[in-house]
């Protein structure tokens, strides 16, 4: 390239333009790379229960709201949660809603009130759901397929 300034021909190099183009391309590639890395890193953080909820094909039993004291010796704390369970059989659903509701609620209250704050933190909630499900399945012959928390408040 050459430019004419005051009657003199001055050669300019394409290095400046090339450097700008290279910088723009590098910026775009870095942005795209960050997007895919962040997207793949956050994908496992989607709660498993949210994925399973869309596959729900059983019968949902509303167990209502539970308010229990947390088994923590340092201070008085409580848990307030609303639980829904999914069962595979309509007869068991009817039985749980009508005649067995006090038994089911008592079992869940016993489990919840035996937990500490650390046991109820977000990383351990999946384990808590499994424990509730396993205890109910002992009584109802593997009829409980999922446990859902509609709300979960510790104070």
Radius of gyration (C-alpha) of the chain in whole angstroms: 30
* Per-residue confidence (pLDDT) for residue 3, from 0 to 100: 55
* Per-residue confidence (pLDDT) for residue 9, from 0 to 100: 59
- Does domain 49-154 fall under CATH 3.30.479.30? My reply is yes
In a structure prediction context, what are the per-residue pLDDT tens digits for the chain, which is 155 residues long?
555 556 565 555 667 788 888 999 999 999 988 887 777 776 665 555 555 544 557 899 999 999 998 887 777 888 999 999 999 988 989 988 888 899 999 999 999 999 888 888 888 889 999 999 999 999 888 889 999 999 998 88
* Per-residue confidence (pLDDT) for residue 54, from 0 to 100: 47
**pTM to 2 decimals?**
0.61
* Per-residue confidence (pLDDT) for residue 6, from 0 to 100: 62
136: Cα separation from own chain's centroid: 23
* Per-residue confidence (pLDDT) for residue 119, from 0 to 100: 86
């Amino acid at each position: 390239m050459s430019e004419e300034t005051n009657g003199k021909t001055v050669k300019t190099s394409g290095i400046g333009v090339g450097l700008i183009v290279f910088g723009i391309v590098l910026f775009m590639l870095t942005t795209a790379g960050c997007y895919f890395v962040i997207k793949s890193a956050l994908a496992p953080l989607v709660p498993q229960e949210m994925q399973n909820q869309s596959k729900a094909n059983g019968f949902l039993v509303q167990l209502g709201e539970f308010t229990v004291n947390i088994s923590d010796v340092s201070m008085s704390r409580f848990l307030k949660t609303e639980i829904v369970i999914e069962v595979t059989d309509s007869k068991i659903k009817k039985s749980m809603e009508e005649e067995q509701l006090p038994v089911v609620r008592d079992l869940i209250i016993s489990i919840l009130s035996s937990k500490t704050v650390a046991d109820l933190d977000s990383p351990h909630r999946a384990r808590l759901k499994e424990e509730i499900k396993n205890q109910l399945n002992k009584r109802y012959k593997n009829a409980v397929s999922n446990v859902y928390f509609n709300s979960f408040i510790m104070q």
